[in-house]
Amino acid sequence: MEPTAGARATRLGHLTCWILGVGAVLTWNSMLSAMDYYLQVFSDYYPSRVLPLVYQPISMLVVGILTAFESEIITQYRVVCGFWLFFFVSFFIPVLDLASSGLGSFGTYVGVCISTALFGASGGCVEAGVVGVLSYTHTGLLQSFTAGVAASGVATSCMRLITKASFTEDRAGLRKGALAFFFISAIVELVCVVLYIFVFPRFTKRVQSEAIETEPRLSNTKLLKANLDYVFNIFIIHVVTLAIFPGILAKHSQTLQLGSWYVVTLVTVFNVGDMAGRYFICLNFLKLKNRTMLFWLVLVRFALVPAFYFGSQYEGWTIVLCFFLGTSNGHFSVCVFVNAPKGYKVSEQSALGNILVFALLSGVFVGEVASWMWLL
């Protein structure tokens, strides 16, 4: 039986949101995947530590400002600007590298740092904006977007596996892989621009027309107080995740069995688990609607810290733990984003979506700082 027009439209909506989710973090994931190259080119400037500390605060700052003034900013404009910025910067980075012949001068490093800051600003515009809109549009579309965010990690991991197998592990080979990452990212971001401008509005126009409300909405402070457990959950989920991964890679970068493939394997396993976990909510019995249960399950994840600490010397055990870390991260995160906005007015749901993304980014930042403990 041929699918109806409504079914085709629904599938198109899910696919569109999934691709937008991929585009929301693909550039930063590409930057992380190219880190092997940057570690060789900018070995004196500690790029693996500096670039995350450039990206994350900028992203948090932008989301914080946009959340505070969410009701006064047209979401469509901020998201379109974010995707365009993603595209131009993704294209600029390989051009900068080609222009400098990959020599790794200080000026080139500054250019990479500025590009990273722009990625952070773009991410702040895009992710919180789309989550805010989808929070009041359709929970299924929101789930597809978050799944796309995780799929971005899987895509870059697969590209890293391909480039590692295709190119040599010397500076020239790593450079080819890095350039490929950013050129592919630029193409994907351009696709996201087209989809967001011409396709995405088809699924949001009707609901957005309801956003014109005569009664004032709850303030951000009241929304925060009413959803403190959800905000705490999304914060702690990412503190635990980022405190462990990829910081654990600094403790054991390779094993006798997998050698230099060990790190790439762990990253891929984590990302696959993260994406799989975001689909668990499609099963009714895994939706975790009980707020108390979700709260305690999030706290239980702290047990993963000692589990990784004592188990990281065993290759198989670490791979299993990485998969569980990924699935729990994806599953619990999407449960928070889907369940929290229910029961609020359209404008309140949008504001709450922005608040949750800010809490997520705050958790990522704190987790990245905590990940330094693995170097002790």
Instruction: Report the percent of the chain where pLDDT is more than 90.
Output: 60
pLDDT of res. 207: 60
- Are the C-beta atoms of residues 363 and 242 closer than 8 Å to each other? yes
pLDDT band at 105 (very low <50, low <70, confident <90, very high): confident
pLDDT digits (tens, 9 = 90+) for 185-213: 999 999 999 999 999 998 877 565 555 55
pLDDT band at 9 (very low <50, low <70, confident <90, very high): confident
Map out the domains of the chain as residue ranges: 10-204+216-375
Q: End-to-end CA distance of the chain: give it in Å, rounded.
A: 61
**Mean pLDDT, range 73-101, rounded to an integer:** 94
Rounded to the nearest angstrom, the gap between the alpha carbon of residue 237 and the centroid of all alpha carbons in its chain is 13
Q: Is the pLDDT of residue 348 over 60?
A: yes
pLDDT digits (tens, 9 = 90+) for 261-320: 787 888 899 999 999 999 999 888 888 989 999 999 999 999 999 998 887 777 888 899
Cα–Cα distance between 152 and 86 in angstroms, integer?
Answer: 14
**Residue type at 201 in one-letter notation:** P
Residue 256, helix vs strand vs coil: coil
pTM, full prediction? 0.92
Cα–Cα distance between 368 and 212 in angstroms, integer?
Answer: 40
pLDDT of res. 256: 55
pLDDT of res. 137: 83
- Are the C-beta atoms of residues 118 and 89 closer than 8 Å to each other? yes
pLDDT of res. 44: 84
Cβ-in-10-Å burial (0-12, 13-18, 19+) of 44 comes to exposed
pLDDT of res. 82: 97
Cα–Cα distance between 165 and 225 in angstroms, integer?
Answer: 50
Cα distances (angstroms) measured from residue 292 to each of 298, 326, 344, 352: 10, 22, 20, 19
pLDDT band at 368 (very low <50, low <70, confident <90, very high): confident
pLDDT digits (tens, 9 = 90+) for 65-86: 999 988 888 889 999 999 999 9
Cα distances (angstroms) measured from residue 175 to each of 41, 47, 111, 179, 333: 9, 15, 17, 6, 34
Q: Is the pLDDT of residue 8 over 70?
A: yes
| Rounded CA Rg of the chain | 20
User: What is the architecture of the domain spanning 10-204+216-375?
Assistant: Up-down Bundle (1.20)
Cα distances (angstroms) measured from residue 87 to each of 47, 126, 183: 22, 13, 9
- Are the C-beta atoms of residues 356 and 165 closer than 8 Å to each other? no
pLDDT of res. 71: 80
pLDDT of res. 43: 83
**Mean pLDDT, range 168-189, rounded to an integer:** 91
- Are the C-beta atoms of residues 13 and 329 closer than 8 Å to each other? no
pLDDT of res. 252: 58
Q: Is the pLDDT of residue 23 over 90?
A: yes
Peptide bond preceding 246: is omega within 30 degrees of 0, i.e. cis? yes
Q: Angle between the 5-33 and 171-198 helix axes, to the nearest 10 degrees?
A: 150
pLDDT of res. 165: 86
Residues 6 or more apart whose CB falls under 8 angstroms from that of 270 comprise 153, 245, 322, 323, 325, 326
Q: What are the helix (H) ranges across 34-138? A: 35-41, 47-68, 75-99, 106-137
